[in-house]
Structure 1
């Protein structure tokens, strides 16, 4: 390992994007931790990233920052004007090093400036332009001109540059046994027969361009039900109406956990399921981290976010405007998803059912072993410098 980085015990990892981006960074975070077992990792991340960070074993503490230079509207920028508080928290953290994780379309320099002002002596990031003193360890940006890597690979390559290659590329997401018990009880009360195959369908996504239309999901649900599969629908509280629309249009027996699960519960439901069907979204990354077979309705917005190290089927319709990197379809037709036949969705899910772990090992009660404990993390909410510490539990 790089001698300077070998001595770094307290490391700040910066990943200011959403939940899925944090999950795709977990192999690199684990590589940092593995290089020095006594290392303490703090994650500076968005509110959505902080929610999933509680379930990442290698993250010891979290600082929440809705950074105004990240994607969002003007209201978000105004509401997150707490730069001074964040800088004070970083200075108080007495960090030895900072690793700034970005996608290639983002600049690491605003975060690097924070870390520089906070006095963090080592600062690593990809950067397109010369960062001068803002970075002590500058990895020249090679994307998209020379290559385009999966997001997991990109971040692993970054930490390998300072001698932390890691020995595992799997994403991390810990599922509590208590969460599994609670979700199993919910499903039992809803009438799920655990002796029969069942599919978990999550129809949400943070960007409209990545959402398969509810009427087409409904057709896929109907086909699966007619083939003898049980279907459980999930979604956030904001997605309950969409789930109810799918149920109404499918007009077959289905069960719904929409609006009833926190992130830990969603992870438990994904672990218990035989197959997951979802859009390109955080739940897709959770399924990949846990190892549940996955059918992903893959909007051709970004080639770097395909399922990582999990048995899966990607469904999409190829279009000339592929890889637009847009949250709203710039052409207005959504053909990359809208033209995927629901029959393909149903058949892909049925084809993956034999690979659900509980069917391969014949254990209906425990498809994938949950963890029994997870250390409580310290979460920092930088509203002000006087009262900003809270529990992550």
Structure 2
């Protein structure tokens, strides 16, 4: 076993192999690593590439479609594994940090990195790592994900920057063509799994209510969400789904008065640009870990629903009650509070964080 802290001044590989939002949440830890490293290479899955390219401190991006992480994994290809090991060996990294969620094991990747000649490896691990890890870090439950990742970097001997665990993106962001809609609110209806998003009808009703209250609304989404966004916008809002790169989406969010979004990657993008956020949060995973972090935020949804902590990908309950309990009035009221319209103004430090609200007036 080598030193308990990572060597400084060298080439470091930082790994986060799952989604765009997960990669963004690792940003504060990556910034800490970059402060005392010659270079930082981000190893990400296919869904995390654009996010990694946005992170301050990342010099290069390498991709691994890991079959132990992917939601729709292909069969293990031994030849691609051998090629990955050879490629990493050629890079001659001095250290590696493997960032994971609480339910993921870092050990498959740690084994491959050891085989590639990486001499110092750190990770959070519940499982016994044998000689695969030089730092086996442990953390309390329900630590916010950005703090969780940053704690590993600090255990490895890296120090946080002045922004600490606050999310950030690389600047300058690209200019989004003027659309003549300022000021505006963004509504993002989609999520990677259906259990975490309102129904299309529910989202459409929310947008209708925001527009009725004279908010200008822009609907966003990925290329695969264009039909959903078009339905939700319903001619009342501007639909930009599938038209923006991730960097352009960040630029749009930075201009918004507020972003309304379920628990999905764009929620963390909104947090990374500091825009006030209304989180439509299904409790299939804990809000304490996964709610938008470090930005003014109001959280809506039944957090004590029976689906709590199930990690369900499809809602196991009729009617999707954890999110259907949020009335359009709740969302309008939350946006008003965050934008200081029709209510007593908040100082920025007084905006409620992780406030659960359910039910408007009868």
TM range (shorter): 0.7 to 0.9
Work out which of the residue numbers 120, 124, 127 in structure 2 matches 1:126.
124
Q: State the TM-score, normalizing by the size of structure 2.
A: 0.87
Instruction: Name the residue aligned to 1:315.
Output: 300
C-alpha distance in 2 between matches for 1:240 and 1:341: 24
Mapping for residues 94-133 of structure 1, pairs under 5 Å: 94-133=92-131
Matched, 1:261 2:244: yes
Instruction: Name the residue aligned to 1:70.
Output: 69
Instruction: Name the residue aligned to 1:85.
Output: 83
Work out which of the residue numbers 261, 265, 279 in structure 2 matches 1:282.
265
Specify whether residues 70 and 176 from structure 1 end up closer, same or farther in structure 2 by C-alpha distance, changes over 3 A only. same
Return the offset for 1:334.
2.0
Instruction: Name the residue aligned to 1:39.
Output: 38
Return the offset for 1:212.
1.0
C-alpha distance in 2 between matches for 1:332 and 1:8: 55
Work out which of the residue numbers 127, 144, 156 in structure 2 matches 1:150.
144
Matched, 1:17 2:15: no
Q: Deviations over 1:256-298 (max 9, x none)?
A: 1112111111111101111111111111001101100101101
With 91-100 and 158-167 compared, the bigger mean Cα shift is at: 158-167
Instruction: Name the residue aligned to 1:161.
Output: 155
Matched, 1:238 2:224: yes
Work out which of the residue numbers 155, 164, 167 in structure 2 matches 1:171.
167
Q: State the TM-score, normalizing by the size of structure 1.
A: 0.81
Return the offset for 1:176.
3.5
Specify whether residues 204 and 79 from structure 1 end up closer, same or farther in structure 2 by C-alpha distance, changes over 3 A only. farther
Return the offset for 1:165.
3.4
Instruction: Name the residue aligned to 1:270.
Output: 253
Runs of 4+ in 1 over 4 A off after TM superposition: 78-81
Specify whether residues 80 and 117 from structure 1 end up closer, same or farther in structure 2 by C-alpha distance, changes over 3 A only. closer
C-alpha distance in 2 between matches for 1:68 and 1:212: 29
C-alpha distance in 2 between matches for 1:77 and 1:274: 45
Matched, 1:300 2:260: no
Q: Deviations over 1:299-336 (max 9, x none)?
A: 11211101111001111023133121222223354211
Q: Deviations over 1:81-109 (max 9, x none)?
A: 62111111111111000101111211111
C-alpha distance in 2 between matches for 1:111 and 1:287: 30
Return the offset for 1:343.
1.1
Aligned length in residues: 336
5+ residue gaps, structure 1, are 361-393
Instruction: Give the secondary structure class of the aligned counterpart of 1:164.
Output: coil
Specify whether residues 231 and 13 from structure 1 end up closer, same or farther in structure 2 by C-alpha distance, changes over 3 A only. same
Instruction: Give the secondary structure class of the aligned counterpart of 1:308.
Output: coil
Instruction: Name the residue aligned to 1:291.
Output: 274
With 270-279 and 3-12 compared, the bigger mean Cα shift is at: 3-12
Matched, 1:337 2:338: no
C-alpha distance in 2 between matches for 1:351 and 1:100: 39
Alignment root-mean-square deviation, CA: 2.1
C-alpha distance in 2 between matches for 1:201 and 1:331: 25
Instruction: Name the residue aligned to 1:49.
Output: 48
Instruction: Name the residue aligned to 1:375.
Output: none
Instruction: Give the secondary structure class of the aligned counterpart of 1:63.
Output: strand
Q: Deviations over 1:210-264 (max 9, x none)?
A: 111121222221221121111111111111111111123xx6x321111211111
Instruction: Name the residue aligned to 2:28.
Output: 27
Mapping for residues 340-359 of structure 1, pairs under 5 Å: 340-354=326-340
Instruction: Name the residue aligned to 1:373.
Output: none
Specify whether residues 320 and 81 from structure 1 end up closer, same or farther in structure 2 by C-alpha distance, changes over 3 A only. farther
